[in-house]
Amino acid sequence: MTTDTRHVELDAVVVGAGFSGMYMLYRLRDVLGLSARVFEAGDDVGGTWYWNRYPGARCDSESYLYCFTFDKDLAQEWTWSGKYPEQPEILRYLSHVAERFDLRRDIQFETRVTAAHFREDLNRWEIETDQGDRVLARYFITGVGCISAGQVPDIKGLDSFQGEWHHTGAWPHEGVDFTGKRVGVIGTGSSGVQAIPVIAQQAGHLTVFQRTPQYTIPARHGTVTPEFLDEVKGRYDEIFEKSRWSRGGTHYDEAEGSALEVDDDERRRIYEAAWEQGGFKFLLTTFGDITFDRRANDTAAEFIRSKIREIVDDPETAEKLMPRDHPFASKRALIDTNYFDTYNRENVDLVDIRHAPIEAITANGIRTREGEYELDVIVFATGYDGMTGAFNRIDIRGRGGEALKEKWAEGPKAYLGLSPAGFPNMFMITGPGSPSVLSNMPPTIEQHVEFVSDFVEYMVEHGIELAEADAEAEAEWVDHVNEVASKTLYMLADSWYLGANIPGKPRVFMPYAGGLGVYREKCNEIAEAGYEGYVLQSREPVEV
Ligand code: NA7
């Protein structure tokens, strides 16, 4: 156990050593010259990619877009092996970044932050950890991730199960051997859709317990050639700049036309081409109104259903796999490799638990209303208490001892998704109310980190002791986030974006759907106007 931070005073404490915490540390320490410490629960860097080691775990953004852009040499020297980066490779990349910038010396691993209280008597944050550390810090910055608080549903009888079970987000480092075993997977979101085809190849038998059928687009994963990487690297400046100002954090030419303004043949041709290219291009580059207009969306949804009909041999299984109760991409759009084909395998069965819900987990497997399925291993691909769950696990208190959890009881509130009013000098990287999970994460994280570090630099230069979001500015931002969301189709699905997967969680759309580029522009305007919407308190009384 490291105890060298007991009762110490630092400029900043950062929670989490994923993309966010690592870059934040670099900016605070190496760019601004401040003292900073990162606390990380895992025993190494990586965040999401440290925990999510399930079979098939892979990023849905293309490799050359899923990386840091702040250092040109770093971008040039790293070589990705595939079109999409797989979990072990992302972890190697982040390890390389940690080494290159000597980050680990200021990261305290195997340490969970348990409490962070704003001490009004000191104008400092007092941070406590499960290792007994107590730190006073001027700035409290969270990089806790949006989908890090794993959710194992409360199903009767789990304790009695005689086999082994795992949640995809807390996968054993040594892996799980499925050879010859009877495996059950509950959940068909991103994690399930990635894991199911890989587990099916190894397991004796796989039963998939599906509550909601999903729209998923083939990734068309494969290796990348040196020529491709050379070409991309030669254009990195242009590619990165475009992704920074885009809606989804990519450099794709985002479509603007309507799916309703072309005839059926042309529409089908465009969808076919995007289906062949694979990945998020289907969502971003086909038609601009898919996420806003239900009739436009229906055309994409029907196209995907036609593909399911084509791919899946058994018509009854195909029917069960066809999503009809929510628009395409109103839940997180999914990218897969051989997902629908997997249901043509002899050793795979699909159980519709919307029709016959799970009643209990027994000693031998899972019992639904219609029967019992004997299993050796259960995989929970059941998702996360998204965006707010990781905050609620820490006792965070602002002015007057107000708990963040209480402040957010009706739904999260924070100015720009960065700063909750009443919590001075607290900044959240990819917090609720920011574009975060709706765009490619690394450029989104970089924008947040750079905004925060520029703000901190401004505070240091201008002798500002405290920066606190103005309650009115916060309320306006939350209204804006809701208003933008209300114009999308996101509101029509029971998704984790809306907290719908967690019993009792308020139904509030949490990320900002305005897009990364628009958000960046707003943040820049706010910074240029002297951090409008924040109340700034000077360190010394200003002489007039
Ligand atoms: P998701 O996307 O939240 O998917 C969870 C899946 O588990 C989804 O199919 C759920 O069905 C299902 N689920 C959740 N709770 C239950 C219960 N109680 N019973 C049965 N089925 C259940 O999580 P992922 O880990 O796949 O992906 C999270 C993010 O990671 C993803 O959005 C990307 O950003 C990367 P439902 O649809 O709710 O009916």
The residue nearest atom 13 of ligand 1, judged by CA position, is 382
Of the residues 380, 406, 424, the one at which a domain ends:
380
Of the residues 351, 380, 409, the one at which a domain ends:
380
At 296-347, the pLDDT tens digits run 999 999 999 999 999 999 999 999 999 999 999 999 999 999 999 999 999 9
- Testing ligand 1's pocket by substitution, the residue of 48, 54, 146, 382 carrying the most ligand atoms inside 8 A of its CB is 382
Residue 332 alpha carbon, nearest atom of ligand 1: 32
Instruction: Answer yes or no: do 303 and 427 share one domain.
Output: no
- Distance between terminal CA atoms of the chain? 51
DSSP, residue by residue, 497-522: GGTTTSTT------S-TT-HHHHHHH
pLDDT tops 70 at residue 32: yes
C-alpha 544 chain-centroid distance: 48
Residue 169 alpha carbon, nearest atom of ligand 1: 25
Rounded to the nearest whole angstrom, what is the distance from the C-alpha of residue 186 to the centroid of ligand 1? 9
pLDDT, position 122: 96
Instruction: Answer yes or no: do 232 and 323 share one domain.
Output: yes
Non-local (6+) Cβ contacts of 383 within 8 A are: 147, 150, 151, 187, 189, 191, 496, 501
pLDDT, position 539: 85
Q: How sure is the predictor about 457, in pLDDT bands with cuts at 50, 70 and 90? A: very high
Rounded to the nearest whole angstrom, what is the distance from the C-alpha of residue 151 to the centroid of ligand 1? 9
Instruction: Please indicate, yes or no, if residue 2 is contained in any of the structural domains.
Output: no
Instruction: Answer yes or no: do 401 and 459 share one domain.
Output: yes
Instruction: Please indicate, yes or no, if residue 357 is contained in any of the structural domains.
Output: yes
Contact 187 CB / ligand 1 (< 6 Å): yes
Non-local (6+) Cβ contacts of 242 within 8 A are: 251
Instruction: Answer yes or no: do 89 and 165 share one domain.
Output: no
Q: How sure is the predictor about 476, in pLDDT bands with cuts at 50, 70 and 90? A: very high
Instruction: Please indicate, yes or no, if residue 3 is contained in any of the structural domains.
Output: no
Instruction: Answer yes or no: do 132 and 172 share one domain.
Output: no
Instruction: Answer yes or no: do 429 and 403 share one domain.
Output: yes
Residue 155 alpha carbon, nearest atom of ligand 1: 18
Dihedral in degrees, nearest 10, Cα atoms 127, 128, 134, 138: -10
pLDDT, position 5: 45
Give pTM, 2 decimals.
0.96
Q: What SS3 state is found at 454?
A: helix
Contact 212 CB / ligand 1 (< 6 Å): yes
pLDDT tops 50 at residue 1: no
Instruction: Please indicate, yes or no, if residue 286 is contained in any of the structural domains.
Output: yes
Q: How sure is the predictor about 483, in pLDDT bands with cuts at 50, 70 and 90? A: very high
Contact 213 CB / ligand 1 (< 6 Å): no
Buried b (16+ CB within 10 A) or exposed e, 254-288: bbeeebeeeeeeebeebbeebbeebbbbbbbbbbb
Instruction: Answer yes or no: do 168 and 310 share one domain.
Output: yes
Q: Which domain holds residue 301?
A: 158-380
pLDDT tops 90 at residue 494: yes
At 422-446, the pLDDT tens digits run 999 999 999 999 999 999 999 999 9
Instruction: Answer yes or no: do 211 and 280 share one domain.
Output: yes
Rounded to the nearest whole angstrom, what is the distance from the C-alpha of residue 284 to the centroid of ligand 1? 23
Q: How sure is the predictor about 148, in pLDDT bands with cuts at 50, 70 and 90? A: very high
Instruction: Answer yes or no: do 139 and 192 share one domain.
Output: no
Q: How sure is the predictor about 541, in pLDDT bands with cuts at 50, 70 and 90? A: low
pLDDT, position 309: 98
Instruction: Answer yes or no: do 84 and 104 share one domain.
Output: yes
Q: Look at the chain and report how many structural domains it folds into.
A: 2
Pick the closest to residue 108 from 11, 16, 12 (CA basis).
Answer: 16
pLDDT, position 2: 42
Which DSSP symbol is given to 29?
I
Rounded to the nearest whole angstrom, what is the distance from the C-alpha of residue 242 to the centroid of ligand 1? 31
Q: How sure is the predictor about 254, in pLDDT bands with cuts at 50, 70 and 90? A: confident
Instruction: Answer yes or no: do 401 and 272 share one domain.
Output: no
- Mean pLDDT to the nearest integer, 503-518: 96
The answer to whether the beta carbons of residues 414 and 432 sit under 8 Å apart is: yes
Task: List the strands of the sheet with 365-368, edge to edge.
Answer: 358-361, 365-368, 371-374
